[in-house]
Structure 1
């Protein structure tokens, strides 16, 4: 584990370890939520009419960020304060979002996976500090040391040395199975050592799902449903794409294309289910938050042992705090537990997580000190879920007017866009170059498999034939790379068929007059930072 300085350790102990314990038990969620958009449990009137304030914030957030739809729920001191929807499931479709509308919660699934592994620990099937290879003997990673020393808790805490999202293109829009991805992990080349630094890693959560299957005899989907969703009464929640599409009251993902919201197909996450596959409504997620805030209890039943909640809420790796922090002066420390981000905020410990997939974003925020939980689910790629969650939390955490995070973000965004426009100066035209002859043919990558470049409809297309979800059309001209010393002879733009992926610049490495290698990345700030390399297939010399 990365070791913070002594001063940071001391402050961490004060902020993250000395929090007031959560209530020992919480009453069951009100059944009044069976009525659409029921605003308040009758047994828990909210002081200062927080319901009206939250409701107004929800509608204001949807309008300010122009998102198609969102839903929110707030729990406080064991009760559901509000659970409500805003906007539409499909923009222009006329079907309203309500408290029972399912959304993809994406990486908020990770806390379910970490809790599920905790249940294996409670069952005596694994230990948090067991070597993973002792339970998954066929696991082979990028070097012998990591393969041998990787521990169960490492799978769930983003500290294996990979960069954030590194390797994710293996599963995004891919037809690879988990077995295919599992066999390719050995070809990754992380920039850091085990436990040296934080790097958000979906791939290790998928390995945790395989650990659950190996030790329980059930798939991740079956285990999570039987041990968590069903005992919690999360009756609408789904763990598979088939199940998600079978729910009539569901939101559809939206992306912006040329400034307009359009629906986009859902990803099949079966190969990476343990990292991101759950669909749920805010009504169901309110039950999950109530259990988390009551040390594993819901309705007087101990669904999850309290030790699991305690373990998953403990920091396992520290993150850097930006020098100019949007949440200053309220935040000073950031860490990651097991399936949860941890930080201080207004003198309390926050336990929270976000989720993002093409066309869906979400946020779950817990303040155990105040028995407070907030969940925001949206059917768009927008920062609104995090901003709104913090702004709602402030209604309970301070009597003073809190920061208007919604307006502050939009103002900051406008300033950044204006500064960028002012600083941009006309650039000389890039030097054009012809596309090298002989580009067509077969290529291969240890991570993404076989690919082909071929002529089609008067142009050239690239297709990763084994991956199945990477196909783009090349521009008619290449450009010469800037700077000297690059092995890349020309760069060739390629527009992906999937509009979520945008355009990638393919670097072409030539030897003599023949292209020997292709290099490209896809949306490194959202999908995967790794530059993938495809070499000319050996069969083609």
Structure 2
């Protein structure tokens, strides 16, 4: 894969190229170019901010395979869950302006908000939404919501059908629908939609002229990267992700040029070019620890704890506090990292969702700046990823070999066809269509899963959308009747399996 750097390395505020860490000055280009090939990444953009100035801003590779346009500092990437810091900051700004309180009950602003745990729904406050402590398991419910045809209001209603895995406020569980709910409070308190508030209160004051709030507007942007994923062991171009029904959780698209301004403001206590864009109290609220995530999050276990603020992950590394987040949507993974004590910020954007290089590069830059011994993070992450891919490919070959045997099912194929229902998702349908068994999803009308018999009551399911991957769907029978089917999608979407009961 051809790859060349574009953009600039910019000196500023007394920082000249000679004073950059050796890795950034001498090795960055080679390191990233090698990664584009090793990880099969079409394009990468990176920026480093130090003491209020951009010291590195570069694009590598191409926006789209087979096309000549290079990635540059203004190329747009979906930033995924790095959107969450914007949403949490917006809510904290409204709190600072006394237009709402972070300690308000959610039902004060959204009376229709309910949880399956009724007392939890009644007691939940805005902070609970923004720090992932409603009791849900990470990604729980996302199969129902992700790239679905549900409206924002319908998603919030669907949350009331999900049985939380953990007791309320006891355990951190990453919940995209909670950030949607928080975003839906912004119009109630400000009179502006979430996307209007983003534009008027953050993007415009910061001069983020290329940044787009909604995913529907990305395809029309002139300088954008195309999304890619891995399928059948090769890189494939996929459609732009449509997640405006979850917009406050992950729909923003931005460039390293624009994100550098966001990072500079965050590191300067809410100021940008001498103007207070975000109140200092709002910055502080988002970085106050609210939930315990676990024991770190560093590849070599050198970060001793991981906490969650409001839209930010918080951890310690080499005696310093790191404020960061990652983002992943179909075709893109990204990271934003702040080291406030060093006045250092790092942004890495990539346009394939099957890489860990966006994290490797972050740690590489941090170690270089902190003068820690060199470790090739990309290589370690890559070996782990390749091993995992090999194991997955081996399992897939075994299932594929079984499917190719055309083993007989317990019951006639017509017994498995019909309508099935799950209280959270709703309806799915199993049909015989175009010479094969297919599962049709009511809230994902553009997607289906091809079902191939593995013998007995098990079918090998291949989703038409590669993001949902492949899985074994077991059907439960009683006598000569099918009672239910268990559906599992890719962990990238949701970990939790769904049981669908067959309608009479």
Matches of 1:60 and 1:421, distance apart in 2: 24
User: Is the Cα–Cα contact under 8 Å of residues 474 and 493 in structure 1 kept in the other structure?
Assistant: yes
Q: Tell me which residue corresponds to 1:479.
A: 455
Aligned mate of 1:527, from 484, 493, 497: 493
Q: Residue in 1 aligned with 2:136?
A: 162
Name the CA shift for 1:166/1:469 in 2 (closer, same or farther; >3 Å). farther
Whether the aligned pair in 1 keeps the contact of 2:43 and 2:63 (CA below 8 Å) is yes
1:452 aligns with 2:425: no
User: What is the aligned partner in structure 1 of residue 337 from structure 2?
Assistant: 365
Go from structure 1 to structure 2 and tell me whether the alpha carbon gap of 1:420 and 1:380 turns closer, same or farther (over 3 Å shift). closer
Aligned residue runs from structure 1 range 340-489, under 5 A: 340-381=312-353, 382-398=355-371, 400-413=372-385, 432-434=407-409, 436-437=411-412, 438-475=415-452, 477-480=453-456
Distance change in 2, residues 1:469/1:143 (3 Å)? farther
Matched, 1:238 2:229: no
SS across alignment from 1:129: coil
Q: For the residues of structure 2 that align with 1:533 and 1:103, how far apart are their CA atoms? A: 35
The residue that corresponds to 1:483 in the other structure is none
Question: Matched residue of 1:142: which SS?
Answer: coil
Show the counterpart of 1:496.
Answer: 463
1:9 aligns to what?
Answer: none
Deviations 1:301-346 (A, max 9, x none): 0000011111111211112227x96233x31111111101111111
3-state SS in 2 of match to 1:230: helix
Report the counterpart of residue 247 of structure 1 in structure 2: 221
- Hey, what's the Cα distance between the residues in 2 that align with 1:196 and 1:133? 21
Bigger mean CA deviation after superposition, 120-129 or 287-296 = 120-129
> How far apart are the structure 1 equivalents of 2:197 and 2:276?
17
Aligned residues: 488
Where structure 2 has 5 or more consecutive residues not aligned to the other structure, the ranges are 1-5
- Give the whole-Å Cα distance in 2 for the aligned partners of 1:435 and 1:479: 7
Which residue number corresponds to residue 518 of structure 1?
485
| Contact 1:142–1:187, Cα closer than 8 Å, also in 2 | yes
Partners of 1:283 and 1:510 lie apart in 2 by: 57
The alpha carbon displacement at 1:149 in A equals: 0.9
2:3 equivalent in structure 1:
none
The CA RMSD over aligned residues, in Å, is 2.5
The aligned residue for residue 18 of structure 1 is: none
Residue 40 of structure 1 is matched in structure 2 by 10
Unaligned runs of 5+ in 1: 1-35, 481-489
Indicate how the Cα distance of structure 1 residues 532 and 412 shifts in structure 2: closer, same or farther if over 3 A, else same: closer
Given the superposition, is the C-alpha separation of residues 42 and 500 from structure 1 closer, same or farther in structure 2, using an over 3 Å criterion? same
Is the contact made by 1:474 and 1:495 (CA closer than 8 Å) also made in structure 2? Answer: yes
Distance 1:58 1:167 in 2: 36
Normalised to the residue count of structure 2, the TM-score between the two structures is: 0.91
Task: Trace 1:53-202 onto structure 2 (pairs within 5 A).
Answer: 53=26, 54-202=28-176
Deviations 1:271-328 (A, max 9, x none): 1000000000000000000000010000000000011111111211112227x96233
Shift of 1:37: 0.9
Is the contact made by 1:74 and 1:83 (CA closer than 8 Å) also made in structure 2?
yes
Cα distance, 1:454–1:435 mapped onto 2, change above 3 Å: farther
CA 1:208 to 1:417, structure 2 compared with 1: closer, same or farther past 3 Å?
closer
Q: Secondary structure at the match of 2:475?
A: strand
- Alignment deviations for residues 90-137 of structure 1 (CA, whole Å, 9 cap, x no partner): 012111000010000000000000001011112212111111111111
Structure 2 distance, partners of 1:282, 1:346, is: 26
What CA distance in whole angstroms lies between the structure 2 residues aligned with 1:178 and 1:422? Answer: 39
For residues 11 and 219 of structure 2, the distance between their equivalents in structure 1, rounded to whole angstroms, comes to 30
Of 244-253 and 293-302, deviating more is: 244-253
Question: How far apart in 1 are the matches of 2:41 and 2:72?
Answer: 15
Matched, 1:508 2:475: yes
* 2: CA distance, partners of 1:260 / 1:422: 15
Once the two structures are overlaid, the 10-residue window that deviates more, 227-236 or 492-501, is 492-501
Equivalent position of 1:27 in the other structure: none
Q: Distance in 2 between matches of 1:447 and 1:459?
A: 27
Q: d(CA) in 1 for partners of 2:46 and 2:343? A: 17
